[in-house]
Amino acid sequence: MASDYILNKGLPSNIDAEKFILGSCLLDKSMVEQTLSSLQTEDFALEAHRRIFDAFQSLQVKGEVVDRVTVANELKRIGHLESVGGVTYIVSLDEGLPQLSSIESYVRIVREHSSRRRIILFSQKAIELAVSGGEDASSILSFLTESTADIDSRIDSGDKIQDFDSYLSKHKGGMDELLVRPTDMVPTGYPKLDEIIGGLMPGLLYIIGAETAYGKTALSLNIVESATSCGYPALYFSLEMGKAQIFRRLMFSRAQVSLGKYKYGSLSDVERYQLKAQGEELRKLPLYIDDSGNLSIMDVQTRLSSAIRDRNIQLAVIDYLQLMDYGDKEERIAIGMITRSMKQAAKHFNVPILLLSQLSRERGRRPGRDTRPKLKDFHGSSSIEKDSDVCILIHRPEFDDLSKTENKDVAEVIVAKQRDGPTGTVKMKFQGRFTRFVEDE
């Protein structure tokens, strides 16, 4: 187990601080949020503590209270109760502990030891890669760059805690700087949508939610095409389609030629000419596709870091959340980890990240006639809505009632959440033949 390796190898750890944190959470539910927002599972050296921390996360996602009984029940449910030492060990965590208003100093101790372990393990991994010759120097450097960036972002610093006066003193622009609209907003290509969200702001996490076949990939590709046409380099992580399929879609969409003609082999000479002409234009765009599939959080972070350094990427898109690799973790917990990590990545790399997500099909079974998607319809976890800065939902009324021909091709792009701005709906038409959304006049 991880605990055997860490302790037997003499890697940095402070088991007493870990026990104090977990015990304090059992005593005082206000400590749970502080702990979950400050630490990750890997920060705990002892495997038993990692599993108990995972149980905390699972209970939090479910909206259940964290205490001795619920934690023991959750661990028993997933078959880990005995491996952590049983109920006896859980009870021992908070026995004799004083109630404190903050456990910040203990969190800092655990994070410090975790960072030291990561430095050791990442360094050893880099040495192994360099010695084995299995990776080229550029790949190893990318691994080291991302690893050190991840560690650096989690190291505590007094500069991270400031009052308004000290913040202003460190920024030459003073208050005026806070009042100037950012000039590096990435346009979506949809003026009415940009009127609501102001474009895509660096450092923010945007989520597009829709059911299968409603057009979330099409909308994201339309946005990426527009952004790159305006000179903003973009990296598109496609976990569902290959590069050829994406580039073909873009060619047909730009040329306004039906994809059906490709599928049935009925392209005319004129259409082939138009497609090749648009293909030549596509070659000029700073659009980069990664179609590796089965990507983990670390894969995305590492490749995005390299692409930003090598290609000045200013927009990242992931299609889509539920296809990312999250190992053997429970889906709700894993999705929460992914959305939090993507939010942190957007902030760390200072680029907008557009994350696509499935919506639950239960929407159509709601009582009443309002079938518009809502934030609660995100599939897998409430953390999707919670961690996002902006949530955009796609509504296609024609799927609600196929008999109503007036709804054909009608689409609503709904800004259902915006942390620092208004919400609203943009009326559009979906041109299915060209996989393209266009705003209503």
pLDDT higher than 90, residue 402? no
- pTM of this prediction exceeds 0.75: no
pLDDT on residue 161 = 63
Judge whether 29 and 66 are in contact, CB under 8 Å.
yes
Q: Which long-range contacts (CB under 8 A, 24 or more apart) does 90-96 make?
A: 90/26, 90/52, 93/19, 93/22, 93/23, 93/26, 93/52, 94/23, 94/24, 94/26, 94/27, 94/68, 95/23
pLDDT higher than 70, residue 174? yes
- Angle made by CA atoms 134, 140, 144, in degrees to the nearest 5: 150
Q: What is the mean pLDDT of the chain?
A: 85
pLDDT on residue 260 = 80
Judge whether 318 and 355 are in contact, CB under 8 Å.
yes
Confidence of residue 345 (pLDDT cuts 50, 70, 90): confident
Q: What's the rounded Cα separation, in Å, for the pair 168 and 162? A: 10
pLDDT higher than 70, residue 367? no
Beta bridge partners of 401: none
User: What are the pLDDT digits (tens) for 132-169?
Assistant: 877 777 667 767 766 776 676 666 544 556 777 777 77
Domain covering 1-180: architecture:
Orthogonal Bundle (1.10)
Here the tokens at position 118 are: 């990561």
Q: Residue 410's closest CA among 397, 419, 401, 399?
A: 397
Looking at the chain, the whole-number percentage of residues with pLDDT higher than 90 is 38
Residues 6+ apart with CB under 8 A from 336: 57, 61, 381, 383, 387
- Length of the chain, in residues: 441
Q: Residue 347's closest CA among 239, 240, 419, 425?
A: 419
Instruction: Look at 260 and 106; give whichever has higher pLDDT.
Output: 106
Q: What's the rounded Cα separation, in Å, for the pair 214 and 412? A: 11
Give the DSSP letter of residue 432. Answer: G
User: Which residue's structure tokens are 């021909």?
Assistant: 405
Beta bridge partners of 315: 234
Domain spans in the chain, listed from the N-terminal domain onward: 1-180, 191-439
Over residues 372-379, the mean pLDDT reads 83
pLDDT on residue 1 = 40
Beta bridge partners of 426: 413
Whether a cis peptide bond, with omega within 30° of 0, leads into 206 is no
Name which of 16-20, 43-47, 357-361, 402-406 the model is least confident about. 402-406
Instruction: Look at 287 and 294; give whichever has higher pLDDT.
Output: 287
Judge whether 240 and 217 are in contact, CB under 8 Å.
yes
pLDDT on residue 341 = 85
Residues 6+ apart with CB under 8 A from 273: none
Domain covering 191-439: architecture:
3-Layer(aba) Sandwich (3.40)
